[in-house]
Structure formats: structure tokens, C-alpha cells
Amino acid sequence: AQRVTQPEKLLSVFKGAPVELKCNYSYSGSPELFWYVQYSRQRLQLLLRHISRESIKGFTADLNKGETSFHLKKPFAQEEDSAMYYCALGRAHAGKSTFGDGTTLTVKP
Amino acid sequence: ETGVTQSPTHLIKTRGQQVTLRCSSQSGHNTVSWYQQALGQGPQFIFQYYREEENGRGNFPPRFSGLQFPNYSSELNVNALELDDSALYLCASSFSSGGGTGELFFGEGSRLTVL
């Protein structure tokens, strides 16, 4: 069975501090991992996906198959990063995406 | 480019009634997925439609059903509504060449309240 765990419901950091949002998954096959973000009064949107291996808005995430993790990191948080972040696990050739319950990130000035 | 649109945005029903939610997918997309999001939880996968066929289903009873039309728009139908069906229902469209997951583009959701 697919499962995604985001252990922190709430995360608060000061502007300029590093931030790491944790995501662990369980899946027996070859996973596709995503981070989605929802800013205030906006719809859910893709932030980044592991296969693209790119940095978006200063965020990066590395897939660690040994630890079954896909943590999201940013070295210097900005106030505009305050949002709800969801980690999601997808599968090639099958429709289901499994989402974690999300982490609300607050970046304080 | 038109994004994913959902209707209605809010609705109130009573227990036992039936509801139909609608979704227009983003231009160029051929796959539609539906999610249920209860308060404080992440989106839960209901089902996906690819080329007008159901392509994967989550742990939802048969009273949750759907359709995808030739223009790739979609409907979610829920029969015999229960109080626990109260939630935000999200539609997401994507382009897939093989019915896989891919990047999901979400609508703003339909907020259903069952009394």
C-alpha cells in the first residue's frame, strides 16, 4: 500500500533561517515524488518533482530510496514561503496519487 | 490557456440526497482525477479517468461514481449522501501518454456540506 507521512503539522521559522519539511513514504515499486504548495487563497499547485531534479523558488528535494524520504529544503526562508506544503507519491502508468496531510510553514519576519 | 474550473463552488445537501460535481480540465489535458479533502487532512484519491475510462480508484464505496466526456471534462456523482461526505472535492487534470500520474493541475474545489 502507498503511504505518505509528513510528521510536522506546523513548522515555524524566522526569515533567513534554513527550513526542512519532512516527507517519508512507503511504496514497494518505483516511486514518483512531488511537492505541492498552497499559498493563501490560491489553489494547490506543483512546486517540484523528483525526476526534474531542479530548484524552484530556492527549494530542493532529494529522493532517498534507502530512507524512503523526500524532504524539502531551503537554505534561507522568505516570508512569501509561508504556505501549506503537501508531499505526494505517484505511480507511472497508474492513476493514484497519495498525499500526506500537509505541513503549514510560517516564516516570521 | 484556461485552467481547471469546478462547479458549483459551494453546496449544501441533506443526508440521503445525491450530488453531481463538475470539472472542466485544462486545455490539452486528457486525464482527470478527483480527490476528497476533509478538514485538516490531505487530498484523498477517489478515482481517475483517462480516455473516458476509470483508471484507478481509491478506497471509496461504489456510491461514488464518475464520468469523463469526449472533451475530457468530468463529473463526480455521490449517491445516498452521508454526513461524513462533507468535504472539499478537488478536481485535477493532467496530460498522460500512458495513464500515469504526472503533474496535477488543480481546480479550486467544490465545498460540499451534508446536513
Residue, of B71 and B114, whose pLDDT is higher: B114
**Whole-angstrom Cα Rg for chain A:** 13
pLDDT at position B12 is: 98
Please determine, for residue A84, whether its predicted confidence score (pLDDT) is greater than 60: yes
Confidence band, pLDDT 50/70/90 cuts, at residue B92: very high
What residue type is B104 in one-letter code? L
Nearest CA in chain A to B96: A93
For B35-67, the DSSP string reads: EEE-TTS--EEEEEEETTEEEEE-S--TTEEEE
* pLDDT for B39: 92
Average pLDDT over residues A43-50: 92
Contact assignment for A94 to B40 by CB distance below 8 Å: no
Mutate which: A43, A47, A86, vs B, most B CBs within 10 A: A43
- What pLDDT was estimated at residue A97? 87
pLDDT on residue A53: 76
What pLDDT does B34 receive?
Answer: 96
pLDDT at A95 (0 to 100): 66
pLDDT band at B99 (very low <50, low <70, confident <90, very high): low
Tens of pLDDT, residue by residue over A52-80, are 778 889 999 989 989 999 999 999 999 99
CA dihedral A46→A66→A106→A50, nearest 10 degrees, is -20
Please give the torsion angle defined by the CA atoms of residues B87, B93, B97 and B103, in that order, rounded to the nearest 10 degrees. Answer: -80
State whether residue B45 sits within 8 Å of chain A by CB: yes
User: What is the average pLDDT across B64-86?
Assistant: 96
Indicate the pLDDT class of residue B13, thresholds 50, 70 and 90: very high
Mean pLDDT of chain B: 92
% residues pLDDT > 70 (chain B) = 96
Nearest CA in chain B to A44: B106
